[in-house]
Copies of this chain bind each other. A is one copy, B any other.
Amino acid sequence: MKISDFKKKQLRDGFQNVSELRQDLVSGDWMIVATGRAKRPDLFIKREKEKFEQPISECPFEDPQVTGHGEPLLIYYKNDKRRRLKGIKKLVREWSLQVVKNKYPYLGPGDCSKVYKEGPYTLMDGAGFNEVIITRDHKQHLALMSLNKVEEVIKSYQERYLALMNHKCVNYVFIFHNHGLKAGASIPHPHSQIIALPVIPADVRRSIRGAKEYHDRHRRCVHCKMLEWEKEEKRCVFQNEHFIVFTPFVPRVNFELRIYPREHQSNFEKITEIERKYLAEALWQALFRLCRGLKNPSYNFFIHTAPCDGKDYGYYHWHIEILPKTATWGGIELGTGVEVLLVKPEDVAKYLRKIKIK
C-alpha cells in the first residue's frame, strides 16, 4: 500500500494518529515520528539566548602559537596587506585559517600493531592524531562566512585528511564540527576537529555495514537509491550541480540535514577543486538556512566517508550529517538510540526552503 493511502486511511479512521513508525533504509531501524505531539517547525526556534561567549583576550584560538599549540600543521594566509607598524609601512601576513594539534587530545602516540587480551576483553593503545582547524575570526561561524571562506575550511579538511590517511596507525579519519554550548563545543571561537584513529568508529561501522548489506542484496548503492527519490520529493532543501541537501525520511534528530554528492562517490578526500566549490555552497546553504530558521541553534556536523584501511568500500557513498540540538535526550532516546521526532522532515524541508537568502 502506498503512503498516500496511509494518509487517507488515517482520515477515514477518524482519529488523529498519535504517531507513525518509519523504517530506516540503511540500518533497518524503526523510528517514532510523534505526529500527535508534533510541533510547527518555527516552535523549535531557540528561546533563551545561550551565554556562550569568551572575551577575545581569553580566547586560546586568537593566537594559537602564543597559547602553546605549537607550529601550525597547515596555514592559509589572507591576501597580503601593507600595514603601518610604528610609523613604517610593512608587509604583514595575516593568517586566515590554521590547523594545530589539539592540546588535550583524544589520541596520541602509541603502538597500533598490538592488541591486548584479558579474559574476554580486548584493548589497544589509543594511537592516533587529533587536530583542530581554526578560522581567524572570533565570532564568524560557518553560516556567516563568505563562500570562499567555507571552501577554505573544506580544503583544509581535505588536505589534512590526505596528510593523515597513509599513516600506518590510521584506518579512519573522522572530521567533525561542534557549534554552540549544547552541541558540546568547549571554546566559542569557531573551529572543527579531525581525529585519525586505528579503528572504525561504531556509528560509521554500522553505516558501512548497512550499505554493504543493501548492496549485497540489491547490487546497488542504498544512498544512490535514496537520492533518486529525494531529488524528486519534498524533502529536498537545496541542490546544485554536484550536491544535494535534504531532510532524511528517517532523521536521527529533529531538523537533521544531510549533504550528499549527487553522483556516487565513496571517498570525501577525492573531491575535485570544482566539486569543493559546490560543496561549500551546499554546506553554507544548509547551515545558513538552519541558523536563520532556528535562530542560531547549537549543532554538530561530521563527515561519514569510506575508511582508509586499504579495503574496498566502493559500495559506500560519503556524506555529511548535520544534527541540530533542539532536544534533551531522555531514557527513550538513550535506550533506543534515536530521538523521538516531534516535527516531520517534510515540514522541516518546506520551512527551510522558504528561508530567504541574504
Contact = CB atoms under 8 A, between A and B. Distances in A.
A126 B203 contact: no
A193 B330 CA distance: 11
A95 to B, nearest CB: 24
Describe A's contact surface by its main secondary structure: mixed
Contact of A184 (B21, B33, B321, B330): B330
Given A332-B176, A336-B203, A116 B2 contact: yes
Interface in A1-32: 1-6, 9, 13, 15, 17-23, 25, 27-32
Interface string A101-145: 000111111110011111111111110000000000000000000
Contact of A202 (B29, B125, B300, B304): B29
A201 B337 contact: yes
A202 B333 CA distance: 10
Given A2-B116, A3-B121, A331 B300 contact: yes
Contact of A106 (B19, B27, B323): B19
A204 interface: yes
Contact of A23 (B22, B32, B122, B206): B122
B184 A331 contact: yes
Given A118-B3, A123-B3, A184-B333, A19 B202 contact: no
A6 B36 contact: no
Categorize the interface residue count of chain A: 35 or more
Contact of A6 (B9, B23, B116, B205): B116
A197 to B, nearest CB: 8
Contacts of A28: 205
A108 B329 contact: no
A165 interface: no
Interface string A245-257: 0000100000000
Most buried by B among A18, A36, A105, A121: A18
Contact of A126 (B5, B18, B29, B116): B18
Contacts of A304: 335
Contacts of A4: 118
Given A109-B18, A123-B6, A125-B21, A334 B302 contact: yes
A98 interface: no
A226 interface: yes
A300 B330 contact: yes
A338 B185 CA distance: 16
A330 B178 contact: yes
A236 interface: no
A25 B121 CA distance: 7
B21 A120 contact: no
A183 interface: yes
A181 interface: yes
A174 interface: yes
A25 B120 contact: yes
A195 interface: yes
